[in-house]
Amino acid sequence: MLRKKIFFSYIQCKFAYGIESKTVNNEEFELQFVSYKELTLTLKKQIQIKSLFKFYLLALL
């Protein structure tokens, strides 16, 4: 079964489905959904396994 790729329009990417990313350092990145700026996801490289990345969710209450 073949799946057809569907690309979002500029408006969809910018205001609804987009993700903004920021490089913190060589092994850590911060990601934010455009539609929910209060939620920040941190992607960090795991020290024990060099090719493995894990997500960390930082919640500020």
Per-residue pLDDT of the chain (61 residues; tens, 9 = 90+): 677 877 878 887 777 778 888 999 988 888 888 888 888 888 877 777 666 777 666 655 4
Strand, coil or helix: what is 13? helix
Tokens of 46: 């795991």
pLDDT for position 14: 76
Q: How many CB atoms lie under 10 A from the CB of residue 40?
A: 16
The fraction of the chain above a pLDDT of 70, given in percent, is 79
Strand order of the β-sheet with 36-45 is 19-25, 28-33, 36-45, 53-58
Task: Give the pTM.
Answer: 0.58
pLDDT for position 10: 82
Taking only Cα atoms into account, the Rg of the chain, rounded to an integer number of angstroms, comes to 15
> How far is Cα 57 from Cα 3, in angstroms, rounded to an integer?
31
